[in-house]
Amino acid sequence: MKKVWKMFFAAMFALLMSIPTFAAGRLSVQIGNFTSFKETPNGVLISADNAKLSLTVYGPEVVRVRATQGDFSDLPSYAVIGQPTGKFTSVKDESDKLVLSTGELTVEVNKNPIIVRFYNKDGKLLNEDEKGLGISWLGTGTTCYKKLQPDERFIGLGEKTGNLDRRGSAYEDWNTDHYGYPDNADPLYTSLPFYIGLHNNLSYGIFFDNTYKATFNFGASNNRFSSFGAVDGEMNYYFFGGNSVAELLKEYTGLTGRMKMPPMWGLGFQQCRWSYFPDTEVLNLARTFREKKIPADVIYLDIHYMDAYKVFTWNKERFPNPSAMIDSLKDMGFHVVTIVDPGVKKEKGYRAYESGLKNDCFVKYPDGINWAADVWPGTCNFPDFTNPKVRTWWGDLYKGLVSDGVTGFWNDMNEPASWGNMVPNLVEFDMEGHKGTMEEAHNIYGMQMARSTYEGAAKLMNGKRPLVLTRAAYAGVQRYSAIWTGDNVASDDHMLLASRLINSMGLAGVPFVGADIGGFTGKTTPDLFARWLSIATYTPFFRSHSEYNSRAHEPWTFGEDVEAISRKYINERYQMLPYIYSAFDEAHETGMPIARSLAINYTFDKNIYNPDFQDEYLFGPSILVAPVSSKQMFERVYLPEGSWYRKSTGKKYDGGQSVIVDAPLSDLPVFVKASAIIPMQSTVQNTAQKGDGILRLHIYSGSRPNKYLYYEDDGTTYQYQDGHFLRREFVFDPAAKKITIGKAEGNYTSKFNKIEIVLHGFDGMNSVKVGRKTMNLQKGEGNTQTLTLDAGKGETVLSW
């Protein structure tokens, strides 16, 4: 009998062993309960059941939050250049929580379980973790869940489609080559993981500094939480507690860096095409601009200027003498920008490839073999821009282009992109000596390429400022490069989307941004081009571009009417350069973008988030732009509180309402804020021309006082960093009936020797006092009065 039972049990065991088994499902792990803490030089380190939590003070309103289940990484951030300053001024260990104060922020750490809350100095709740979820891990992935506040809005996150208010949407950060992307596509080319939360007349910012593939959920399909997380790496974010959107941008760009002053010529009109060749076509293009009196400063050379698409080469048949061609273009007032992709062709005898091999500069598989992929030149290796040695090597490769006279460099295909768009995640990078894989390096690849380009070109150009343009980027890219919004489509929807993308990039700390005028791919109609160019006149980066074998996008190719409209708006752009350049100075000093979402100045006006009005924005501090479809000749425009003047007609409107205005192709709805001060100049054909020497100071009558900080420098060198600039404050004080031209500061001598005051809306005024002298006003264009004064450097006061 025993034998029978043994046989039975043996058979049952064999049967059970033959049944497939299933491992227990992977569950999330929360940070758990508080166990202990200790103070650190700039904050506190907290131990919990399942992880460690670090809080570090980077400023009175900036606190870094890190959490890990293992050891904290010592890899330096590619985005952050700020350092911790100070510490918590008060640390209270209470029975149920830690209470930490910076003086401006209070951070409460609930103990069981650990939940982090942020309050402003008035004790108002800014942001808190969602209690049941908090900081969590799922495998190697980490996510922070935040409690949604009633009626909370979210703005920012950079190059993301969708609405200005991100509430109800989710996004992914994974830089992607997305040719002809739909107007609801995500992700796109850049990862700028900074956003701003708004509720109860309060604002805060969060920057999630993790370069792995990241996701953001702003209450998508739930009313419980917003969240941000990544597939690997630390939970590492910075919390900003500023009192306004402008203050948050100043704090964020103080942490991640601000742009240097661009070359003045980089703000002019720029003509691009895939591709202009041979050299005779390029020269004829330049001559046509000059003959037609259409201002322009830049011509781009796309991939066909190269020998078989190999970077840092010239096609000797199409461009037999590039330096002579560039000299001729310089004589006509043009700068040349050349495209440079990251792929280096595997070809014996090719200098860039051979030097890259010799210096061990390429990304590798784990077995030491260089990773290769196919792009324009064929099979290529790719530089490891996370290695300082490689960045120096790459920067030095620009020597030939610089010596030929090239002054701008366009980094494309740097997501990185290749045919098939599939990079093995296991390929390895140096990561500043810390070693990592493509999963960690992917989102910073384009930014580090732009860094290598900028640092190399700046070193080679003998003190002159280069223009660098990149497609792919990560937070902090503003220190090195401008960005354009990639391979967009010739459609009204894309034209309107471009405004939101540009404004959202500004809300993520990147001010020098633009989109391809007319659309890169697709069929551009004359009406669409005319409208798009009129809107782009009021964007920081101003470039027309189109793809190979498409309709040409030069302003005169759409007929005489469009040519006239284009000339009008490009002239206007050049007239506004003093205003635009001063806005770039503000971006350089404070991080304030040039194209400004209305959410910056009118944060809690619910109308600006209405999809009918969310494309509107301020260009600089005082000009409101209302983008309009090319198919509409009338538009309903929302004007925020205050009074506004139609720029083209001088008609005055009361704000706080929507108005129906006419919008022919020749007259985009653009408005100027009452009390605004707008410095302008005469029309010039390129930025190197001095013009008539008169700075025209347009002042719009209003009931509120206003100050404007005007800026000027040589526009080409870095001498402004040593005081070689001019700043002066212009003040309009309607209560005192006074206009003050402040004393000039800095040691730069202005190119303007006269200042013409142009008064808008000052009806019935015939004269003003300049000091004690009464001077008569002259009749100007439209309903304006003018007065011309010597510029001087001292203070001048006008009164009436």
Q: Phi, psi at residue 40, to the nearest 5°?
A: -120, 170
Mean pLDDT computed over every residue of the chain: 95
Return the sign of the alpha-carbon dihedral for residues 578, 584, 585, 587.
positive
Query: What token pair was written down for 327?
Result: 């000299």
Q: What is the DSSP string of 104-137?
A: SEEEEEETTTTEEEEEETTS-EEEEB-TTTSEEE
pLDDT tens figures, 500-509: 999 999 999 9
Neighbours of 120 (CB within 10 A): 18
Measured CA to CA, the distance from residue 468 to residue 662 in angstroms comes to 38
Give yes or no: 527 in active site: no
pLDDT tens figures, 165-207: 999 999 999 999 999 999 999 999 999 999 999 999 999 999 9
Domains of the chain and any CATH numbers: 29-256 (2.60.40.1760), 677-799 (2.60.40.1180)
pLDDT tens figures, 580-612: 999 999 999 999 999 999 999 999 999 999 999
Out of 412, 428, 430, 712, the active site residue is 412
pLDDT the model gives residue 549: 86
Grade residue 237 by pLDDT with cuts at 50, 70 and 90. very high
Q: Of 517 and 549, which is predicted with more confidence? A: 517
596, 598, 600, 602: CA torsion to nearest 10: 150
Q: Phi, psi at residue 718, to the nearest 5°?
A: -100, 15
DSSP summary character for residue 388: H
pLDDT the model gives residue 29: 96
Out of 302, 404, 415, 547, the active site residue is 415
Name 173's bridge partners.
214
* Residue that has been written with the tokens 């800014």 in this structure: 126
Burial class (CB within 10 angstroms; exposed 0-12, middle 13-18, buried 19+) of 250: buried
The whole-number average pLDDT for the span 677-701 is: 97
20, pLDDT greater than 60 = no
The whole-number average pLDDT for the span 301-323 is: 98
Give yes or no: 415 in active site: yes
743, 748, 751, 756: CA torsion to nearest 10: -10
Q: Taking a C-beta distance cutoff of 8 angstroms, is the pair 150, 195 a contact?
A: no
Q: What is the DSSP string of 739-753?
A: EEEPPPBSSPPPS--
Grade residue 551 by pLDDT with cuts at 50, 70 and 90. confident
Q: What is the DSSP string of 207-254?
A: EE---S-EEEESSTT-SSEEEEEESSS-EEEEEE--SSHHHHHHHHHH
Q: What is the length of the chain? A: 800
Out of 61, 487, 554, 615, the active site residue is 487
For the chain, the distance separating the N- and C-terminal CA atoms, rounded to the nearest angstrom, is 121
648, pLDDT greater than 70 = yes
Neighbours of 730 (CB within 10 A): 20
Give yes or no: 763 in active site: no
Which of 317, 154, 267, 266 has its CA nearest to residue 537? 267
